[in-house]
Structure 1
């Protein structure tokens, strides 16, 4: 028979196992917060030529590739959905630039009404964790499981969304935040990609990156926050959606505790690997319907 001390130890072990199964164990030491920043229409082709010191510093402080790939078509709704849902369009069903409802029946639907995303994965496995979705483009609202998210904010103007994101950072309570910003896509459509005006807009984009990174540092959260940055597509002339590398190559940047420093990722990264990587960081089980894989090459070995 077990003595009293052994019984107590046994009960404690069972409690810890139960707690870990329900809350998830972070795969990355000290990673308590994940921020995913998505810039609409930010093509990888432009970054080497652009004046973007804050982005390039973020790349140097972590791991990156400029050859991550979109799904097809290389346009907005289908790719934002894929990024957050850990799977491609034939699984989640959103297939077009402005999809508001799935054009293909999703492989599965959660109790929140859509194909499972990183938001419902967090809500179901870490019910006490706080999440936030802040976005500029109205189309994002059709792609997220709003009932699974603590804060949903559509400020319409980028300045309002950045201010709200900084407010969330300062509170220091949110486990995962997705921030969507609409530029440089507007300049790409109205004036053109790979134009002087597009590169000028990238300087403004870089200032926004600097503000967000500085907010994390000012809140004293730099040592426990992973910042990820990516895009939905690039572009050619005034459009996108095609099969050229200028359209399908997107940046994929990650920096923070446990991330390799000044590391260029050579593995293939698809945009739906983003959701899988976030789930992996937070120690969560991925839905079987997800096709994404965590980008483990970004992280140090422990």
Structure 2
């Protein structure tokens, strides 16, 4: 009798799993836009119509959190690697190698990321990483990514190259890193008129990436996510205040509930887990992120 109950439970789990996969059948591409230094506090008063349109068309939170410290490399690593610094080992603003040995590594001696999961489980799929801050390059397992394009803080080039890749190759997963408004935050200050002026430009860049998805003919097959590594205060970040730690987390596309403010608690490493779930990938045991399933239509 015990054995029969277990079989019944297994069949029920398989049924629920198949129903969830069915609701995501139209999601064939994921575009992750990472905006460096975009504090969630700034969005309500910012002039960002493209970003706010994504919020209307999808689900969002202004209370997602970075890992600590609220700095760049440690958080970009966490976002892409599905775990925090205790596991992946990158702990600082500009980490180029793990300060703590990664608890697990791939054949390329890096902690498993969303890119390595895709390469291992969907080997024919195309992936891309286009980034304007050079520090991102140290966190990427370049051998498993089809298009790796650093642009040296050139936001115009970042967007044009990402748009070209999206239109010409329609990758399964594309990661685009924008280095503003972080530079303005450091140079002039967060929550300043100049910071909000830069956010308007950031929104224009996001709009161009959305347009590239439409021009590629994959708008109805693409989930777009926008988030950040950290916020900021005065001319810095890295501390424990909410304006430094709280980041936006926005997702829109096929199968995503529209105009929804999320109740789920979100940490930046949940981003990789959510992407893995969307793409039907098995997550490694060392990942600690959870897919934010509240976003999906029932």
What is the TM-score when the length of structure 1 is the normalising length? 0.90
Answer yes or no: is the 8 Å Cα contact 1:64–1:263 preserved in 2.
yes
Aligned counterpart for 2:32 among listed residues 36, 40, 55: 36
Distance in 1 (alpha carbons) for counterparts of 2:116 and 2:266: 23
1:198, distance to aligned residue in structure 2 (A) = 0.3
1:172, distance to aligned residue in structure 2 (A) = 4.2
- Are 2:49 and 1:53 aligned? yes
1:155, distance to aligned residue in structure 2 (A) = 1.6
Answer yes or no: is the 8 Å Cα contact 2:50–2:204 preserved in 1.
yes
Distance in 2 (alpha carbons) for counterparts of 1:161 and 1:204: 13
Answer yes or no: is the 8 Å Cα contact 1:26–1:283 preserved in 2.
no
1:113, distance to aligned residue in structure 2 (A) = 1.6
Answer yes or no: is the 8 Å Cα contact 2:23–2:297 preserved in 1.
no
Distance in 1 (alpha carbons) for counterparts of 2:239 and 2:123: 40
Structure 1 consecutive aligned stretches of length 4 or more whose deviation exceeds 6 Å: none
Aligned counterpart for 1:84 among listed residues 72, 80, 86: 80
Per the alignment, residue 12 of structure 1 pairs with: none
Larger Rg: 1
- Are 2:96 and 1:106 aligned? no
Distance in 2 (alpha carbons) for counterparts of 1:171 and 1:26: 28
Per the alignment, residue 293 of structure 1 pairs with: 290
State how 1:115-134 maps to structure 2 within 5 Å.
115-134=111-130
- Sort the Cα spacing of 1:27 and 1:134 in 2 relative to 1 into closer, same or farther, 3 A: farther
- Are 2:184 and 1:187 aligned? yes
Distance in 1 (alpha carbons) for counterparts of 2:293 and 2:182: 30
Distance in 2 (alpha carbons) for counterparts of 1:279 and 1:75: 24
Per the alignment, residue 222 of structure 2 pairs with: 225
1:218, distance to aligned residue in structure 2 (A) = 2.0
Distance in 2 (alpha carbons) for counterparts of 1:215 and 1:177: 12
Per the alignment, residue 212 of structure 1 pairs with: 209
Distance in 1 (alpha carbons) for counterparts of 2:108 and 2:239: 32
Answer yes or no: is the 8 Å Cα contact 2:23–2:255 preserved in 1.
no
Per the alignment, residue 70 of structure 1 pairs with: 66
Answer yes or no: is the 8 Å Cα contact 1:27–1:282 preserved in 2.
no
1:219, distance to aligned residue in structure 2 (A) = 1.9
Spell out, residue by residue over 1:99-146, the C-alpha distance to the aligned partner (whole angstroms, 9 max, x if none).
000000111010122000000000000000110011000000000111
State how 1:194-209 maps to structure 2 within 5 Å.
194-209=191-206
Unaligned segments of structure 1, at least 5 residues: 1-24
Answer yes or no: is the 8 Å Cα contact 1:63–1:260 preserved in 2.
yes
Q: Let me know the Cα RMSD of the aligned residues.
A: 1.0
- Are 2:138 and 1:148 aligned? no
SS of equivalent to 2:34:
strand
Spell out, residue by residue over 1:205-247, the C-alpha distance to the aligned partner (whole angstroms, 9 max, x if none).
1111111111211222110000000000000000000000000
Distance in 2 (alpha carbons) for counterparts of 1:173 and 1:61: 22
Per the alignment, residue 273 of structure 1 pairs with: 270
What is the TM-score when the length of structure 2 is the normalising length? 0.91
SS of equivalent to 2:27:
coil
